[in-house]
Amino acid sequence: MNTLNHTVQKTDLAVLLPFSGRTGENGLFHRYDGRLFIEPKLHHLFVLTLALALWAGAAEAASQAGFGLAWAIGALFKWMPFILEGFIQNIIIGVFAMLIGSVAGAALGLMQVSLSKPVRVIGWSITQFFRNSPWLVLLFCIMLLFPFELDLGFVIIPIPDWMKAVIGFSLPIMANLSEVVRGAVVSLPSGQWESAESLAFSRRQTMWMIILPQCIKRMIPPWINWYCILMMATPLCSIMGVEESVTHTVQAMNAEGDRPVLLGPFYFFLLLIHFCFTYPIARYSISLEKRYAVKI
């Protein structure tokens, strides 16, 4: 690390010394070349958000006779296991939707790079349709138009609401991952295909043994990023009555009388658990992007 050497000159004149705040990488204030910079970190923003939430809750609690912020926090602690149980349902929906979307998206992406024009057109059409459709509209279509059970004649298979949500979320994930697969395949140098052809590899052998293994590293960071986006979107299914974290939070506040003082603590806790689950995954995705970045 380069250091700057400053020559201190003596003078009889009165001067304003630099601000003597905290310095260093972990401090809020950072002094560089005699100038003061404010560099807020993640924990500073978290503390500020928490303080604002507590202040808003205290202001609202002032108008509630006998039901203050302390009572609301106590109610939150009582209902935390119930809310976390709903959050587990969010994770289940996200995992299954990502699994189905990944398999279908990989197949759709390979269709887009097929040598057959009809196959490419079909793959491109399906990708563009679901990629440019609103997630909430797709969710409504699946939840309202999909049957509640499938009668196969010899057995009846029930389809719960959370499974409909999985199908609804897997459609846009499928389309976006299709573009990820297509882009990864196209991004490889043409010399890879030419070298395989010179070694008498068939197109199928070239794709499965040469191209796709090289594409995996390029596809992992955006794949993780889309999982984060999916997890942030899973609360949308609460509109259709799916038993997940938002639905459980609303039910818990209903059981406590729907008092306004509950809104701040309950929804801040809901925001916190989603953030604590998604943020580390997002940071890991950024580190993978740096590790697997294409060096030109």
Residues 46-70: pLDDT tens digits?
677 777 666 655 555 544 445 677 8
Q: What's the pLDDT band for 285 if we cut at 50, 70, 90?
A: confident
Residue range 247-265: average pLDDT?
87
Q: What is the pLDDT of residues 195-227, one digit of tens each?
A: 888 887 888 888 888 888 888 888 888 898 899
37 beta partners:
30
C-alpha 136, offset from chain centre: 16
Alpha-helical (H) ranges within 188-262 are 190-198, 203-206, 212-233, 245-255
Distances, alpha carbon 288 to alpha carbons 51, 156, 186, 284, in Å: 34, 45, 20, 6
Alpha carbons 194 and 198: distance in angstroms, whole number: 6
pTM flag (> 0.85): no
Q: What percent of the chain has pLDDT over 70?
A: 77
29 beta partners:
38
Return the CATH architecture of domain 44-291.
Orthogonal Bundle (1.10)
Q: Identify the pLDDT of residue 116.
A: 87
Average pLDDT over the chain, rounded to an integer: 80
Domain ranges in the chain are 44-291
